[in-house]
A and B are shown apart, each in its own frame.
Chain A
Amino acid sequence: MAYSDKVIEHYENPRNVGTFDKGDEEIGTGLVGAPACGDVMRLQIKVKDGVITDAKFKTFGCGSAIASSSLATEMIKGMTLEQAETIKNTQIVEELNLPPVKIHCSVLAEDAIKAAIDDYKKRHAR
């Protein structure tokens, strides 16, 4: 299957790969799995005063899944939690020129962002 140049670029030079200490106060962690492909994606955000100051990810999956999560971390940096919550997978699809069979990879990345935000909010609910 042919990947777009943008997917290949992110795949070869993924942004923000890594791990934050998930016990840290400022961190929210989203861990999502796509059983259809056996992919697993972890996306973490660092939040200060309601703004995402940094993001990291670790994805084991196909090139499109890696590129989607790499792009997702770039997109959300500097956003408020409210802004990041509104990110739609279609933005990732457009940016990466994902073919129809790979759209589910962008959905996984969107879900990972939401899971990370949820985790952060839950931990700060009290």
Chain B
Amino acid sequence: MSGSYFELLGLPERFDLARPAIEAAYLDRTREVHPDRFATAAASERVAALQRSMQLNDAYQTLRQPVRRAEYLLNRHGVFIGDNERLDDAAFLMEILELREELAEARVAGKLDEVARLQAEMRRRHRGLLDALIPLFAAVEGDDAAGRADALPRVKRTLIELRYLARYLEECDAALDDEEA
């Protein structure tokens, strides 16, 4: 197997990457393995090109989205969000529970504008957390060992909050969908 998604696409391994640069790298690499180029090639070469093209696609799909890129990088640093982990933060959980209740009530009552208000608020928070990841990753990727050790758990914590917000935003979408249906 080949190396990391960053290596596959020939990109530097860091969080702060511009979407156009990732796209350009992907298009560049996929051209090299385009099926047209292998039309007359041996079967084994065609299969290899196809496999490579699937890997490139996986890499692109993961790296182009900031949250997925961040989670991938976190894992590359040996840190994971485990299935049976618990978030030990009663205040945050209570807040999420209350926000979910508000949303559920607005949904049942058919209060579309209230759902939209909650959605806008959570989108703002989501964006804020994504912005916060940039300096955190700068520390993770920096030369200062103490700074790295300090930033890594904070990256993880931020990504956990992002998961809760993503789940919340999915519920907002669902609520707005059933209004339209």
Contact = CB atoms under 8 A, between A and B. Distances in A.
Contact of B97 (A40, A104, A107): A40
B82 interface: yes
Contacts of A42: 97
A40 B85 contact: no
Interface of B is mostly: helix
B97 A36 contact: no
B167 to A, nearest CB: 4
Given A60-B100, A104-B83, A35 B160 contact: yes
Contacts of A58: 97, 101
B127 interface: no
A70 to B, nearest CB: 16
Contacts of A33: 86-87, 89, 92-93, 96, 164
B154 to A, nearest CB: 14
A58 B96 CA distance: 12
Interface in A12-66: 31-40, 42, 58, 60
A36 B83 contact: yes
A36 B85 contact: yes
B111 interface: no
A35 B84 contact: no
B166 interface: yes
Contacts of B96: 33, 40, 60
Q: Size class of B's contact patch? A: 20 to 34
B86 A31 contact: no
Contacts of A107: 84
B100 A40 contact: yes
A40 B93 contact: yes
Nearest to A61: B167
Interface in B126-164: 160, 163-164
Interface of B: 81-87, 89-90, 92-94, 96-97, 100-101, 160, 163-168, 171
Given A36-B81, A36-B85, A60-B171, 20 more contacts: A31-B94, A32-B93, A33-B86, A33-B93, A34-B84, A34-B85, A34-B86, A35-B81, A35-B160, A35-B163, A36-B82, A36-B163, A37-B167, A38-B167, A38-B168, A40-B97, A40-B100, A42-B97, A60-B96, A104-B84
